[in-house]
Structure 1
Amino acid sequence: MASENKSCKTEDVLEIVSKDSEVELCVEDSSSDDEDLIQVDKENSSDSGYEILLKAKSKPALSKARKSGPPEQEEMWHNKKEEDRNPEPFKFMPSRVPGPTFNKTASWSPLSLFQLFFSVPVVQTIIQNTNANAARRKAAGIKFQWTDLTVKDFYVFLAIIVFTGLVSVHHRADYWKREWPYNFHFPQEYMSRNRFEAIVWSLHLSNLKDDEENQKKRNTPQYDRLFKIKPLYDQIVNACKANFQPYKNICIDERMVASKARISVKQYMKAKPTKRGYKLFVLADSASGYTWNFSVYTGKSESNISHGLSYSAVLDLLPFSLLGQGYTLYLDHFYTSPALFQHLRKNCFGYCGTIKKTQSDFPHTEKNDFPKRAERGDMRWIRKDEVLFVKWIETREITMCSTVHRAFSGKTVQRRVKEAGVWSAKQIPVPDAVLDYNKNMHGVDLSDALIGYYSVQQKTKKWYKTFFYHFVDIAIVNSFILHNEICRSQGQEPVTQKKFWEHLAVEMLSFAVGSAPAAPSPTLTCMPRYYGSDATQSRRYCRRCLDAGIPRVKTPIYCRACNVPLCLTSKKNCFERWHDKQEYLSSVNVH
């Protein structure tokens, strides 16, 4: 009887399996049914066919159960006919009103604008260090005529180098020739050639004793390769940031400063008009070309090891607390990285720029990619979360990424195309990111062009003198841009850059003899400034935090008018609140 029962159970199971090949043997639920089957198997251990059948049927059922979930959606390119969503923009909240930060209703001459960058303390520092350097050279036995440099001499010297930017000759000595066609009344009537050359030879920007201390640190991490320009370098950078607030669109790019000096920090860049020289990373306002911040590249350092040079170069130029939120930053492919995307987004900054197809974050799918013979104006796009990737066919394939644009909104650009042997103008579709990139990426190029038209750069083999002349160029060009901004705000027509340089040279000469118009007082405007280049070490206790009973809160920022240290970040704005309180107290005292 036992064998009959055993046979009966096996036949019953075979009959069920043959009727339904999709039978589920409780694959997803390993509770009572599986236990019962295992027990049956144990009780009928002599029936090996039953055990084999269970194993054979359970494997396909498990496989089908795993595949029963929703299939993963494969990444694919979209064409211009497919709609993209509009990214949610960050609210534009700059820390100050965009444009010049000083009182624009006052009368600002070219010289008074220039003195915002070359202030009285800056000029005094240069004069002291130049006199000390000349005295050292005299003590070393070098024979040349020298009397101590004065403010008058320095401004005549500046007027002459501005004049050399307007009038070009083959040799500097030609400016003092009396024969035609070099019989210039200026500069020979104001300064002799020997005096001018003596100032050029002795020009020095840093303290000599501090120079010696820095030289002792050579080949150590504490050695500062830019120490000889640091005093003027820091002052010019701080002045650039203090006197202007960028508009919404900003850009970062490299600038090359030509030099014949022999120093290891010189670079070679094939794509730049100036291929050999010193490399600067520059942040400029896209609309005006105003140089707002810059840094000199000195080679690899510990600061750019973790994320790379391009990442560090961008963040070094972006003091988020001083800028504010909602800006759109335009960059080229050298700076593009996922880590930078995340950091900019964390600080409420938009981003747009070119990107290499070999970049790890760029989509590598070929699904719905360009055909072999794609037409000019054809495009493909993919959106990954908040980042848009776009490919566009022009004369070559252009790849872009953006966090502030939609893929395509129907805009076109005019191009000359050759069809059937005939050239004609044709409107071709263009992605929004490409259009805005071409419009806003050239802020640094605009600044370079303005510097290139008229430049005070002199031939020298001393690298720090090359930077002195370049800093003068930056100060003059930024002053000219501020002049344009002031005129537009007052509904006036600004003068040309050539006229601005001419007026500046004349006013420098007038200032030298004491008849120039006085510059408006800088105390009219309260503006934030940094105590030094090192934001960690150069800090003071915040005045407002101390008044509020919150001790030991340090900040690297102070008000240049009130000379009071105050916090200024996106989350904590003691600078604004403290000044609001001072205005309230003043109004109460008046009434």
Structure 2
Amino acid sequence: MKRLRRSTRDKGPRMVLDSESASASSDPDAQIDDMDTDPDTSEEECMSRRGWSPISTSEGMDSEEEKPLDLAWRSKNGKIFWQPTNSVSANYNRPDMLLKPGPTHYAVSRVYELSDSFDLFITEEIFAIITNCTNLYGRRKDPQWQDLDGTTIRAYIGLLLLAGVYRSRGEAIRSLWDAEMGRHIFRATMPSKQFQLISSMLRFDDPRSRSQRGDGDKLAAIRELWDEWTEQLPRVFNPGKHVCVDEQLLAFRGRCHFRQYMPKKPSKYGMKIWATCDVQTSYAWKLLVYTGRVANSPVEKQQGQRVVLEMTEGLTGVTVTCDNFFTSYDLGTELLQRQNTLVGTIRKNRAELPPELLKVQTRAPLSSLFAFTENHTLVSYVPKRGKNVLLLSTKHRGPEISNHVKKKPQIILDYNRCKGGVDTMDAMIATYSCRRKSKRWPLTLFFNILDVSAVNAFIVWTAIDPTWNHGKSNKRRLFLQELGKKLVMPHMSRRQHLPQSPGATRLVLQARTSLADRDGGSFAHATDTPATPASRRQCVFCSTRKVCCCTCIKCGKNVCKEHYRTICSSCFH
């Protein structure tokens, strides 16, 4: 047997192996022999035969940390020691959740009908902000501006939601209001010019005091509304045991000081929003717009850790799932102090990883290699030759591997099951989105607020009333369609002039009838089905004999707009 020889260049206690021992220790699949029981064999020689190297205290290890002799791998930064077995792993008992999953008592006590769930997010305070700021801006821009009220703003939002339901968010306004090709509900709610005017005048703050209020805040143009809205998200719904933290890219190519370029995203350009979603329902529990580095610092270290800790503040007893941008050893430690666990992929250039988990040349496909500390578990999975997948978990404490053909570790299975919380929310929004093309980023962000509120309202409503449209596969479409109608109905019923198209007129009269039935009143001169307009003829009341196509629904006479009511002037008297 060749004896160990000490290197003359190494003055520390680290041992240098000969060629045979070095080649044997480099093989991760090599079997470890039992320690020589010969009493004459020194401790250093026994460790050398195993392939271990004792660590000097001068290299960053305290004397108390030098006692264990079975330390296997040392991290690249030299501060963490990983072992190939879970003998050092401590048992983790999940603490009880402080918040009961599902709608809160605040939400349940305020939801009586479908539209109430949407009002939990777009509150009266938000409607007041939009109405006051829009009227203030409209008075300065248009001398003939007529102030809007909350009913008109609700009708405007309802039309946006209905455009998303009909997959018409990219369709021109003229096409939506077309008498033949458009939808009757758009013409029945308001004229197209009024809709365009509201879209151009819609504001969320006073631009004159923005510099004073903002004080460098890049989100000052919509800050008050955004803060009021985000405060409602955790107040309405509590997430379950699994939450997902990820980023959402809101597509926008206009001028914006915090616009991001993300080449791997389909839109590539837009506003980045950090999001925390419940895994089971995809409820958006917390959102945060990324406006740049904190305090304008040139370099922000550990940004992913800061974001996750901020986005999960207030949660206890949950498992946080995130991707390799956020996952780190220190993040898992911080979450454990808050009684939360972490599961996520981790980048290969992290300094807390041991080099042994990065070697994949000699490993067989579908093989897994684990590394453990007291509270952390690393797994290196090789799905195919030459490729390595690394995950970090503070929830799993053992080397569990599934019996499936691919032999995936349990950590990967749990990660795949929980990683799509935010992506599912984006998919739900994209299906029936109300976003319209705009060059103003506050308006684009406001459209996203409406989309997220509609998704959250659907989740809250179905949780409170599980029997609503039970068994139907298009429940969300039916929810948005009914929500849009409830928002436009009050404004539709108070229109002074009826639209010219018969279908739109029918909807207005139905809205008036339903509102009268609900309020206990009646419209004696209104019927559910108006008469079909005749051909263009002269008005029977005008001295100038104006040509018109509108007719009285009672006697059928042709009348112009000046003499046109629900019924003509003579029949009315």
| Alpha-carbon shift at residue 378 of structure 1 (Å) | 1.0
Query: SS in structure 1 opposite 2:327?
Result: coil
**Which of 446, 458, 463 does residue 436 from structure 2 map onto?**
458
Distance (Å, rounded) in 1 between the aligned partners of 2:103 and 2:201: 35
Deviations 1:452-495 (A, max 9, x none): 11001011101100011100001001011112322349995576
Distance (Å, rounded) in 2 between the aligned partners of 1:336 and 1:107: 38
Report what 2:309 is aligned to.
315
Query: SS in structure 2 opposite 1:225?
Result: coil
Distance (Å, rounded) in 1 between the aligned partners of 2:325 and 2:119: 35
- Residue 75 of structure 1 pairs with residue 78 of structure 2: no
Distance (Å, rounded) in 1 between the aligned partners of 2:447 and 2:118: 14
Distance (Å, rounded) in 2 between the aligned partners of 1:100 and 1:373: 48
Distance (Å, rounded) in 2 between the aligned partners of 1:156 and 1:344: 44
Distance (Å, rounded) in 1 between the aligned partners of 2:478 and 2:467: 20
TM-score under structure 1 normalisation?
Answer: 0.66
Distance (Å, rounded) in 2 between the aligned partners of 1:290 and 1:311: 22
Deviations 1:40-68 (A, max 9, x none): xxxxxxxxxxxxxxxxxxxxx9x99x99x
- Does structure 1 retain, via aligned residues, the 8 Å contact 2:244–2:276? yes
Query: SS in structure 2 opposite 1:399?
Result: strand
- Residue 98 of structure 1 pairs with residue 97 of structure 2: no
Report what 2:35 is aligned to.
none
TM-score under structure 2 normalisation?
Answer: 0.68
**Which of 468, 471, 486 does residue 446 from structure 2 map onto?**
468
Letter in 2 for 1:357: K
Distance (Å, rounded) in 2 between the aligned partners of 1:153 and 1:477: 23
- Residue 278 of structure 1 pairs with residue 271 of structure 2: yes
Report what 1:237 is aligned to.
230
Distance (Å, rounded) in 1 between the aligned partners of 2:304 and 2:240: 23
Query: SS in structure 2 opposite 1:461?
Result: coil
**Which of 416, 419, 423 does residue 445 from structure 1 map onto?**
423
Distance (Å, rounded) in 1 between the aligned partners of 2:449 and 2:268: 20
Deviations 1:132-164 (A, max 9, x none): 01112226xxxxx63111122112111111111
Note closer, same or farther for the CA distance 1:490–1:190 as it changes in structure 2 (3 Å cut). Answer: closer
| Alpha-carbon shift at residue 199 of structure 1 (Å) | 0.4
Letter in 1 for 2:205: S
- Does structure 1 retain, via aligned residues, the 8 Å contact 2:259–2:272? yes
| Alpha-carbon shift at residue 176 of structure 1 (Å) | 1.3
Deviations 1:284-309 (A, max 9, x none): 11111000001001111238866432
**Which of 327, 332, 337 does residue 341 from structure 1 map onto?**
332
Report what 1:393 is aligned to.
382
Distance (Å, rounded) in 2 between the aligned partners of 1:183 and 1:306: 51
Letter in 2 for 1:400: L
Report what 1:380 is aligned to.
369
| Alpha-carbon shift at residue 274 of structure 1 (Å) | 2.7
Distance (Å, rounded) in 2 between the aligned partners of 1:186 and 1:492: 27
| Alpha-carbon shift at residue 213 of structure 1 (Å) | 2.0
Note closer, same or farther for the CA distance 1:97–1:504 as it changes in structure 2 (3 Å cut). Answer: same
Report what 2:116 is aligned to.
112
Letter in 1 for 2:461: H
Distance (Å, rounded) in 2 between the aligned partners of 1:106 and 1:239: 13
| Alpha-carbon shift at residue 225 of structure 1 (Å) | 0.6
Distance (Å, rounded) in 1 between the aligned partners of 2:394 and 2:363: 29
| Alpha-carbon shift at residue 111 of structure 1 (Å) | 1.1
Report what 2:535 is aligned to.
none
Identical pairs, percent: 24
| Alpha-carbon shift at residue 355 of structure 1 (Å) | 0.5
Note closer, same or farther for the CA distance 1:281–1:262 as it changes in structure 2 (3 Å cut). Answer: same
- Does structure 2 retain, via aligned residues, the 8 Å contact 1:76–1:366? no
Report what 2:192 is aligned to.
193
Distance (Å, rounded) in 1 between the aligned partners of 2:307 and 2:67: 44
Note closer, same or farther for the CA distance 1:163–1:70 as it changes in structure 2 (3 Å cut). Answer: closer
Report what 1:436 is aligned to.
414
| Alpha-carbon shift at residue 430 of structure 1 (Å) | 1.0
**Which of 115, 123, 136 does residue 140 from structure 2 map onto?**
136
- Does structure 1 retain, via aligned residues, the 8 Å contact 2:85–2:371? no
Asked which structure has the greater RCO (Cα within 8 Å, sep 6+), the reply is 1
- Does structure 2 retain, via aligned residues, the 8 Å contact 1:387–1:402? yes
Letter in 2 for 1:268: Y
Report what 2:178 is aligned to.
177
Note the residue ranges of structure 2 that are not aligned, 5 or more in a row: 1-41, 46-53, 57-65, 75-83, 495-513, 519-573
Report what 2:488 is aligned to.
509
Q: What is the count of residue pairs matched by the alignment? A: 424
- Does structure 2 retain, via aligned residues, the 8 Å contact 1:400–1:433? yes
Note closer, same or farther for the CA distance 1:315–1:365 as it changes in structure 2 (3 Å cut). Answer: same
Distance (Å, rounded) in 2 between the aligned partners of 1:194 and 1:357: 57
Distance (Å, rounded) in 2 between the aligned partners of 1:210 and 1:240: 28
- Residue 266 of structure 1 pairs with residue 266 of structure 2: no
Note closer, same or farther for the CA distance 1:477–1:345 as it changes in structure 2 (3 Å cut). Answer: same
